[in-house]
């Protein structure tokens, strides 16, 4: 990467993150710390107000933005949702390019808005591939996510699936989750005094109230783990080595895929599977390219299948 591209990317990162550390920039660009310090000096000489704090890192003076493009919080929120969808529907390279574009969008937000947007990742999950999106879903996403950010109670008119009866509920939202070809709003329902799963396309009307809810609810992953325990689903955590996870990009959704995170070894994925046996059969194709972190029962199932495979071809 040449100096111009490096300096522009550094500015974007400074606007996207609250704190940027010199060694992180050095690792990212594969250049020396001295080069990073020169790049930062170039930005300062160009009039970019950079604040340096010893032992902490670099940040921009609050209020600095890249003219002339500015986004409202709702507009920026829609890109965060899109980033989640793109990550599940496209190849890794396209998803990476889109993610970098979202970083540029975050860069022109004020620091308080930026912090809100960055926190939304824990409240949006996509667990299956998307074949279609209904217009009403996307119209309601900003209201829901603004409610989560502000801990504001939502009031909705909801049509039940079994009899289409319309009820009015006041809810405290946890987040939104895409599975089974639909977006779902997971929330604590004040009417039923319990957590409920509302399919967003069945919401007839949605209103933001002036009520603020107290206390903390579990995040979406914690909620799904609780549901798994109730529905006899089994939590599975797999470490995919190197780039082996790309060979299961589609199939993972059939085994209760929940989330993934990159690490030095590759990608660690979490599942909530209804069938240890079925998941074991699928994982056999990865041979030595995976490590089963949990549960032990999955290791036993794969060992048993492997022994049968050896006997069959001996």
Give the tens place of pLDDT for each residue, 122-139. 777 776 555 555 555 667
Question: What pLDDT sits at residue 252?
Answer: 82
Q: Which residue has the higher pLDDT, 134 or 239?
A: 239
Q: What is the mean pLDDT of the chain?
A: 80
Q: How many CA atoms lie within 13 A of 264 on its CB side?
A: 0
Alpha helices in 161-266 (DSSP H): 220-230
Residue whose pair of structure tokens reads 């299948």 in the numeric block: 305
Rounded to a whole number of angstroms, the distance between the first and last alpha carbons of the chain is 53
Map out the domains of the chain with their CATH numbers. Answer: 3-60 (1.10.10.10), 73-220 (no CATH), 232-313 (3.30.70)
- Rounded to two decimals, the pTM is 0.48
Lowest-confidence range among 212-216, 226-230, 237-241? 226-230
Residue range 226-253: average pLDDT? 80
Question: What pLDDT sits at residue 142?
Answer: 78
32-41, 56-65, 214-223: range with highest mean pLDDT: 32-41
CA distances from 159 to 19, 169, 197, 198, 219 (A): 45, 11, 13, 9, 25
Question: What pLDDT sits at residue 152?
Answer: 93
Q: How many CA atoms lie within 13 A of 105 on its CB side?
A: 21
Question: What pLDDT sits at residue 183?
Answer: 82
Task: Please state, in angstroms and rounded to a whole number, the distance separating the CA atoms of residues 85 and 89.
Answer: 6
Question: What pLDDT sits at residue 1?
Answer: 67
């Amino acid at each position: 990467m040449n100096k111009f591209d490096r300096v522009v990317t550094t500015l974007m990162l400074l606007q996207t993150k609250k704190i940027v550390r010199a060694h992180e920039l050095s690792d990212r660009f594969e250049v020396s710390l001295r080069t990073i310090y020169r790049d930062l000096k170039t930005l300062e000489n160009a009039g970019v107000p950079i604040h340096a704090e010893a032992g902490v890192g670099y940040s921009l003076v609050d209020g600095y933005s890249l003219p002339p493009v500015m986004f409202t919080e709702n507009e920026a929120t829609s890109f965060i949702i899109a980033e989640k969808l793109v990550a599940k529907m496209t190849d890794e390279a396209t998803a990476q390019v889109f993610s970098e574009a979202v970083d540029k969008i975050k860069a022109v937000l004020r620091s308080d808005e930026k912090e809100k947007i960055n926190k939304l990742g824990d409240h949006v999950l996509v667990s299956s591939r998307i074949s279609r999106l209904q217009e009403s879903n996307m119209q309601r996403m900003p209201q829901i996510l603004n409610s989560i950010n502000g801990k504001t109670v939502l009031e909705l008119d909801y049509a039940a699936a079994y009899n289409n009866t319309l009820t009015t509920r006041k809810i405290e939202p946890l987040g939104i989750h895409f599975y089974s070809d639909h977006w779902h709003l997971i929330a604590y329902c004040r009417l039923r005094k319990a957590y409920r799963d509302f399919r967003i396309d069945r919401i007839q009307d949605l209103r933001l109230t002036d009520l603020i809810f107290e206390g903390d609810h579990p995040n979406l992953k914690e909620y799904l783990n609780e549901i798994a325990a109730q529905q006899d689903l089994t939590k599975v955590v797999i470490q995919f080595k190197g780039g082996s996870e790309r060979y299961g990009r589609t199939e993972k959704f059939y085994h209760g895929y929940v989330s993934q995170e990159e690490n030095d070894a590759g990608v660690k994925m979490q599942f909530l599977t209804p069938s240890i046996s079925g998941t074991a059969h699928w994982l056999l194709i990865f041979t030595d390219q995976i490590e089963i972190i949990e549960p032990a029962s999955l290791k036993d199932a794969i060992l048993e299948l492997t022994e049968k495979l050896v006997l069959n071809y001996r």
